[in-house]
Amino acid sequence: MPAPTAGSPTPLTIRLPDGRRLGLTRYGNPAHRAVVFHHGFGSSGLEVPDNAALLTRLQLQILAPDRPGVGQSSVYRPLTFPSFADDVVAMLDALEIAGPVGVMGWSVGGVHALALAARHPARVAAAQLLSTCLPLGERTVYRHLSWVWKGLLWGQLGFPWLNRTTFLWLSRQWTRHPDRTLAWFIRGMRPAEAHATARHCTLLRDAAVQGFANHGRGVFDDAQAWCRPPGFRIEDVRAPVRLWHGQADGVWGPGNIPYLARRLGGAPMRLLPAQGHMLYLENWPAILEEMSALLAAAATPPL
């Protein structure tokens, strides 16, 4: 593993206890308070906006691990939400970060953030769910899914070979024609997502190329984990949680976000008008400001 520096961003690779590699990107100064960022589906830790000045002002560092099969992380076919939560704790141990950290998750990364907070409550000081999805494989969640997501769940579980073939084909497209592939995705997006993606096209393109590395194996395993029983209870999350969601989200509509907030003990919500699934890119300074305040509050002893 290369020596830590205060530069931003810094690629790192650690060795997990079972011998697998875990790749991650560090943004900011390693001496500052740590925040773990869980990337979205089909993406990687490169999707974090690089704003070194903001991180320095807030005295934060962002650690963005790549899930198994993504970027430099080893493929791990038995991937589950709990197994990756354990990988993240092993990452923190390897980086000698012992205290509670902040946790963020965008899209399906929000479910991974919840799993970490539920499985390792002593390691999580606060969490933010950014355009989060729900765990598709949880029975109590199923009735809250749209018919589109119910159909995708059925297809992923019923025809895994078809999804594996699709992700393999997409991996080749991202490797050979990344700009053309991104443009193709943008054409299929709703306006809120299309506009934000176009403004941040280089960041999202590079993140997707790494997301679909290893012949798309990591994307497929991530989808399988998402569709199976999650292996944790949302109600076991004890850290304070904040939800950010766009009212124009064309990927995961905001209709069941109040339901998730109730299961998190009435977690505060920010439902932003006219914003879509990429809202974290449009609101990054405000999101980091909130996380800084949450970590400060968690570190303040009660009177």
Query: Could you tell me the CATH number of the domain that includes residue 94?
Result: 3.40.50.1820
Q: What is the pLDDT of residue 6?
A: 52
Q: How far is CA 162 from the centre of its chain?
A: 25
* Across 243-270, average pLDDT: 96
Output the CA–CA distances (angstroms, integers) from residue 4 to 20, 23, 36, 82, 165, in the order listed.
21, 14, 16, 28, 39
User: Which region holds residue 295: left if phi is over 0, alpha if psi is between -120 and 50, else beta?
Assistant: alpha
Any domain includes 283: yes
Average pLDDT of span 255-266:
97
Mean of per-residue pLDDT scores for the chain? 95
Q: Quick check: is 160 in a domain?
A: yes
Beta strands in the chain (DSSP E): 10-15, 21-28, 33-38, 60-65, 101-106, 124-130, 241-246, 269-272
pLDDT at 168 over 90: yes
Total residue length of the chain:
303
Q: Is the pLDDT of residue 277 over 70?
A: yes
Task: Indicate whether 4 pLDDT > 80.
Answer: no
Residue 291 within a domain: yes
pLDDT at 7 over 60: no
Percent of the chain with pLDDT over 90: 95
Q: How far lies 23's CA from each of 16, 83, 145, in Å?
A: 10, 16, 32
> Looking at 138-273, which runs of residues are DSSP E strands?
241-246, 269-272
pLDDT for res 301: 74
pLDDT at 159: 93
Average pLDDT over residues 134-160: 93
Q: Tell me if 221 is assigned to some domain.
A: yes
pLDDT digits (tens, 9 = 90+) for 49-108: 999 999 999 999 999 999 999 999 999 999 999 999 999 999 999 999 999 999 999 999
Query: How many independent structural domains does the chain possess?
Result: 1
Residue 3 in any domain: the answer is no
What is the pLDDT, as a whole number, of residue 201?
Answer: 96
Instruction: Give the other-Cβ count within 10 Å of 78's Cβ.
Output: 9
| 219-245 mean pLDDT | 97
* Domain annotation covers residue 5: no
pLDDT tens figures, 126-135 = 999 999 999 9
Q: Does residue 1 fall inside a structural domain?
A: no
Given a cut of 90, is residue 183 above it in pLDDT?
yes
Domain that holds residue 294: 10-299
Using DSSP's 3-state secondary structure scheme, residue 229 falls into coil
Flag whether 31 is in a domain.
Answer: yes
pTM, full prediction: 0.96
